[in-house]
Chain A
Amino acid sequence: MMKTLFAMISRELKANVKVWLIWSVVIILFNIAGVMKFEGIAGGDADAVRKLTDAFPKVALAVMGISDLDMSTFAGYYAVIEFYTGIMAAVYAVALARNAVSREMTDGTYEFLFVRPVSRTTILSAKLVAALADAIAFVAVNCVSSLLCLRLLGDVPGLNDVTAATVIWRFSVWLFVMMLVFGAIGACASAACPRPEQGASIGNASVVVAYGAGVVFDMFSDHDASVVARVLSPFRYATPREVIDGRMPVPFAVLAVLIVVVGFAAAYRLFATRDLAVR
């Protein structure tokens, strides 16, 4: 029993490794290009830049992609980099979840697997465990390459290595939570749709919608109604400033947990009763 489980997991990991390598290389290059260029901005007077940021209306800042961040500090600069990384991670998480649930559907090989003496729940578990391992490895690559870039950065005035490393750790946790949330959405959509491509489209659309809602939230976070945009955008369940400070509003933490639990539970239920006939 355990042996079959491990066989399935390792087979799944092998099938995922090429795509994982591509994403990892992209993220390492992005970190090198991004983090290494921080010195250029750090030269300015931090206090004045902060005042300027505070004075700007949210709409203007959001359009410039800064939102409420202090770009003169490493934390603020890194937050902008991590926002892009977060979108990438979300797309990757949806792909991982989709592959776990319906790759063999597209390939027409589920028939061969379902006749084996293992339950569908075990099959899906093995596939999701492999996907989870890939997600953790992806977050680790981002975290380690960021920390290494930080070390390569050398002496930048006003840069505290310990606080900077803490910020990197906190964003790594945020990144992993994002991957869980979008993985749950992707898994649920893939299991719910009879046609695999349809499920994938819904998963990917959720990332794009979340991104758009995030921009809208940044623009209008002064207004009360912006909470609607925030609910729609997991990227903003914790705002960059909250991640830097290492906190997250409780209602949104609960919402994130709910999405993950309900998403994966629904995926298991739907997967167990899924019809093989539709391809």
Chain B
Amino acid sequence: MSAPMVGAPALHVYAFELKSQLRSLLIGVATLLIVTILLLAGAYPIYRDSKSSVEQVIDGFPPQFAALFGVNDDVFSFGGFYRFSSLYLMLTMAIMACAWGLAIFGREKRAKDADFLFVMPISRIAIYLAKLAAGLTLVIVAGLAFLASVALTYTRFGDDPTATSIALPRLLLAASSLFGVGLLFLAIGALTAVLLRRIRSVSGIATAFGILGFMLVSLPEMTGEDKYRIVAPFTWFNVSEALDHGRYEAGYVALFAVMVLVCLVAGAIMYVSAGFGSLPTKEDPRA
């Protein structure tokens, strides 16, 4: 078969998936932007203004109490606040991206029409890649919109020394952690969609995964033990490290890359080799 014949159907799959997720993309991006603006432009100024009253109290205490609360000079800075906020932003992105992965790769299972797609003159791996491309596009578009909103909010704090002490590129690097979270949860969603025999609720699974990731952050945070970071994907992207030193930790980035690759490759292998028997069809709704 000639190249255009293969390329065109794949493009159709890509465009179809993008179009189907358009509404969900708009809702997702709007939510992300509202959370960003509420936190950074709304709550941060109030938070910053409380600094002096807290410092007064802290001065009367031995330093270890302040340390117990994680209070140091950094906490009341723009960077410190961003670090706290990033958790909520990551949660939003994780739920969104996981839902996209589930919806895109589980579409035929949910509609029970995989046979209609698989009899088309297009290889399964091409379908998988086209769907993956659509998912990546969604994550990238949402991520870029988020970066833009962070940059815009940042310009509002030109008179705040704790904000200006962070160079915009570093802030954007820290904000880029959302691409990582998005990619990871897209991959997890994709693999889950391929693995599950039936997907009853995209939003239910996505919320569960997102909140699980969010909860796991509390393990290393509450216990103060770094070893728990391995099971808490949100902490793989160390925002403080990005803000302070303009980099992410190589080990955790590698862990992230391996996880994404494993999910996507395993998903691809199973998607390509799944027998028709395991794909519910219209004729037998209970299959």
Contacts and interface: CB of A to CB of B under 8 A. Distances in A.
Nearest to A61: B69
Interface string B201-215: 111101110011001
Given A59-B50, A88-B211, A109-B285, A200 B43 contact: no
Q: Main SS of the interface on chain A? A: helix
Contacts of B43: 59, 63, 219
A84 interface: yes
A201 interface: yes
Contact of A63 (B64, B81, B202): B81
Interface string B33-45: 0010000000100
Interface in A177-221: 196-197, 200-201, 203-205, 207-208, 212, 215, 219
A195 to B, nearest CB: 11
A34 B222 CA distance: 8
Interface residues of A, number: 52
Interface string A88-115: 1001101100110001001111000000
B224 A60 contact: no
B119 interface: no
B81 A64 contact: no
Contacts, number: 126
A103 B88 CA distance: 31
Contacts of A51: 57, 61
Contacts of B68: 41, 44, 49, 71
B223 interface: yes
Contact of B203 (A84, A88, A197): A197
Contacts of B204: 91, 94-95, 98, 200, 203-204
27 contacts: A33-B228, A37-B222, A51-B61, A52-B69, A55-B57, A56-B69, A57-B53, A59-B43, A66-B69, A84-B215, A84-B218, A87-B211, A91-B208, A92-B208, A94-B204, A95-B201, A95-B204, A107-B286, A108-B286, A109-B286, A196-B200, A197-B203, A200-B203, A201-B203, A204-B204, A204-B206, A208-B207
Interface of B: 35, 43, 46-47, 50, 53-54, 57-58, 61-62, 64-66, 68-70, 75-76, 81, 84-85, 88, 95, 198, 200-204, 206-208, 211-212, 215, 218-219, 222-225, 228, 285-286
Interface of A: 26, 30, 33-34, 37, 40-41, 44-45, 48-49, 51-52, 55-57, 59-60, 63-66, 71, 77, 80-81, 84, 87-88, 91-92, 94-95, 98-99, 103, 106-109, 196-197, 200-201, 203-205, 207-208, 212, 215, 219
